[in-house]
C-alpha cells in the first residue's frame, strides 16, 4: 500500500517552502521517468535504499549515484530519474526562489545541477538521515526535517525585495490562463530601480535561473496545464494563449525543456504532468 503525505509548514518557512512530502511503498510500473523543469528546487532523501540514481539525459546506461539525499537546483532541462530507488522517500519542494536562504552558495551555481546533500550540509546530512529513519510516523519525520531546514537557514529569512516583487509579477495570479503574466522583464526592471545587469544577477543568485529563462519555464508549465485541462488539444490555440510567437516557437521551447515534441508528450505523459514515464528501450 502506498502512503503519500504532505505537510505545509508554518511561517516563516511557509514563505519559502511549497510543501514537505513523503512516499512510502511507492512502486511504479516503469523504472525510469523524465522530470520536467518547473523553475523550482527540490531536496530529496531516500529513507530505505540509501541511494538515489539520476540517469544521463543522452545515455540511459550512465547514471550518477547520490548516497542518502540530494538537492536539485532549478532546471531548464529535463532529468531522468530512477523510480526503483524511490520506494521510500521524503523531500521538500521549495517555492520558486525559496531555497536560497538554506544554501551556502548562490542558487545560480546549482542551475541544471544535482548535488549530494552532504556537500551542502556536511556531516549533519548523515545525522539527519539516521534520525529520519528512526522516526516512526510521517508527522515525526516532517517535524525533524522542518527543524533541520531551520537550522541551516541564513538569517534574516527575507528575499531581496526586487526578487520578491519580480516573482509576484512574473507568476501572476491564478487561476490560469485568464491571469497569465503579462508584465515583461523590462516592465519589472523599470519599477525596481536596478540596472538590468544588477537585477539579472540578484534574481539568478536567489532563484537559480535568469529572469528570461524563468519566464520561459513558466510559459512551458502553463502549456502543460492547458494540455491537462482540455479534452481535445489544439496546439495553435495553446501556443497563442500561452504567449508564444507562433506554433513553431511553441514546439521549439517545448522540445528544449522536455526533450519531446508536444504530440509525443501527449501520448507518453503519466498521472503527473511533470513526470513522463520512460519504458524499456527508451
Same-domain pairing of 214 and 112: no
Same-domain pairing of 20 and 143: yes
When the pLDDT of each residue in the chain is averaged and rounded to a whole number, the result is 91
> Does residue 258 sit within a domain?
yes
Q: In the predicted model, is pLDDT for residue 74 greater than 90?
A: yes
Q: What are the residues facing 94 on neighbouring strands?
A: 17
> Does residue 156 sit within a domain?
no
Closest CA to 37 of 17, 57, 64, 16: 57
Q: What is the CATH number of the domain that holds 40?
A: 2.60.120
Same-domain pairing of 9 and 140: yes
Q: Say if residues 57 and 258 touch (Cβ distance below 8 Å).
A: no
| Per-residue model confidence as pLDDT tens digits over 91-119 | 999 999 999 999 999 999 999 999 999 99
Assigned C-alpha cell, 52:
538515489
Please give the tally of structural domains in the chain.
Answer: 2
| Per-residue model confidence as pLDDT tens digits over 193-218 | 899 999 999 999 999 999 999 999 99
Same-domain pairing of 58 and 104: yes
Same-domain pairing of 189 and 274: yes
Q: Among 81, 116, 151, which residue terminates a domain?
A: 151
* Distance between first and last Cα of the chain: 28
The pTM of this model reads: 0.92
Same-domain pairing of 55 and 104: yes
Q: In the predicted model, is pLDDT for residue 265 greater than 50?
A: yes
Cα 150 from Cα 66, distance rounded (Å): 23
Q: Among 129, 151, 173, which residue terminates a domain?
A: 151
| Per-residue model confidence as pLDDT tens digits over 1-16 | 788 999 999 999 999 9
Domain encompassing residue 63: 3-151
Q: Who wins on pLDDT, 265 or 60?
A: 265
Same-domain pairing of 41 and 176: no
Q: Among 151, 174, 203, which residue terminates a domain?
A: 151
Same-domain pairing of 77 and 26: yes
Note the pLDDT of residue 26. 75
Amino acid at each position: 500500500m502506498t502512503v503519500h503525505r504532505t505537510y505545509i509548514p508554518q511561517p516563516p518557512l511557509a514563505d519559502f517552502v511549497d510543501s514537505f512530502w513523503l512516499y512510502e511503498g511507492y512502486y511504479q510500473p516503469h523504472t525510469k521517468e523524465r522530470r520536467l523543469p518547473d523553475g523550482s528546487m527540490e531536496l530529496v532523501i531516500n529513507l530505505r535504499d540509501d541511494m538515489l540514481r539520476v540517469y544521463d539525459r543522452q545515455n540511459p546506461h550512465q547514471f550518477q549515484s547520490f548516497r542518502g539525499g540530494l538537492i536539485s537546483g532549478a532546471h531548464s532541462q529535463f532529468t531522468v530519474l530512477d523510480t526503483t530507488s524511490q520506494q521510500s522517500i521524503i523531500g521538500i519542494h521549495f517555492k520558486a526562489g525559496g531555497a536560497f536562504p538554506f544554501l551556502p552558495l548562490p542558487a545560480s551555481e546549482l542551475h541544471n545541477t544535482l548535488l549530494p546533500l552532504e556537500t551542502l550540509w556536511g556531516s549533519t546530512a548523515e545525522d539527519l538521515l539516521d534520525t529520519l529513519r528512526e522516526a516512526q510516523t510521517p508527522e515525526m519525520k516532517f517535524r525533524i526535517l522542518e527543524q533541520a531546514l531551520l537550522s541551516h537557514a541564513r538569517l534574516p529569512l527575507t528575499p531581496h525585495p526586487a526578487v520578491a516583487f519580480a516573482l509576484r509579477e512574473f507568476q501572476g495570479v491564478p487561476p490560469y490562463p485568464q491571469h497569465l503574466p503579462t508584465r515583461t522583464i523590462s516592465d519589472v526592471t523599470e519599477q525596481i530601480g536596478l540596472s538590468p545587469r544588477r537585477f539579472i544577477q540578484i534574481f539568478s543568485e536567489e532563484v537559480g535561473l535568469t529572469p528570461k529563462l524563468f519566464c520561459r519555464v513558466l510559459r512551458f508549465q502553463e502549456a502543460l496545464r492547458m494540455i491537462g485541462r482540455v479534452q481535445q488539444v489544439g496546439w495553435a490555440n495553446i501556443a497563442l494563449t500561452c504567449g508564444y510567437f507562433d506554433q513553431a516557437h511553441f514546439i521549439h521551447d517545448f522540445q528544449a525543456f522536455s526533450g519531446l515534441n508536444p504530440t509525443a508528450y501527449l501520448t507518453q505523459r503519466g498521472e503527473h504532468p511533470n513526470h513522463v514515464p520512460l519504458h524499456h528501450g527508451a
